[in-house]
Structure 1
Amino acid sequence: MSVTVRIPTILRTYTGGLAEVPADGGTLAEVLADLDRNHQGIAARVLDDEGRLRRFVNVYVNDDDVRFTEGLLTPTPDGAGVSIIPAVAGG
């Protein structure tokens, strides 16, 4: 399945400045693996040392926050949009 991944500004150094890049995979885990194959190092910014989504990174497949669906096993149907959004904290 081919999806479009929206890349936040802070991670665009991995994508040559591109705000959106294509990736393939039937699940979010597969999409992130493909994304890292094509843009080496980006997965380490999204996943922790144990291979889980980092606590302060939000990921959406279409409009669904994967923390409330199936996490890395969330299906990524053909044509889906995947958004990586760093959490913002402050007061």
Structure 2
Amino acid sequence: MPIKVMIPTPLRPYTENKDTLEVEGQTIKELLDNMVSKYPQLKRHLFSEDGRLRSFINIYVNDEDIRYLDAEDTKVGENDIVSIIPAIAGGN
């Protein structure tokens, strides 16, 4: 069953400019693995060299941050919407 994944503007150049993807998977880890398999350039923007999700990448299932659920082992279902939200920093 495909899950809807919302892609933020800064990552769209690596997903053929798509703002949403339909991705197969039962957990966040499976979704991410399947996404980077189809869009390999996305991998370096989501994961560090050691394969860990980058600290500035926030992932939500519906409105819940996966850091407060089961992290990448968080289960997803057919009516869930997954959002990838990069943290923004800057200023003086």
Q: TM-score normalized by structure 1?
A: 0.90
Verify: 1:88 aligned to 2:88, yes or no.
yes
Shift of 1:82: 0.8
Shift of 1:86: 0.7
Question: Hey, what does 2:75 align to over in structure 1?
Answer: 75
Question: Hey, what does 1:39 align to over in structure 2?
Answer: 39
Shift of 1:49: 2.1
Return 5+ residue gaps in structure 2 as ranges. none
Larger radius of gyration: 2
SS at structure 2 position matched to 1:41: helix
For residues 17-48 of structure 1, the C-alpha deviation after alignment (integer angstroms, 9 at most, x for no partner) is 11111101000000001111221221321122
SS at structure 2 position matched to 1:60: strand
Return 5+ residue gaps in structure 1 as ranges. none
Question: Hey, what does 1:13 align to over in structure 2?
Answer: 13
Q: TM-score normalized by structure 2?
A: 0.89
| Contact residue 29 and residue 72 of structure 1 kept, 8 A | yes
Identical-pair percentage: 38
Provide the C-alpha distance between the structure 2 equivalents of 1:58 and 1:68, rounded to a whole number of angstroms.
11
| Contact residue 62 and residue 80 of structure 1 kept, 8 A | yes
Q: CA RMSD in A?
A: 1.3
Shift of 1:77: 1.0
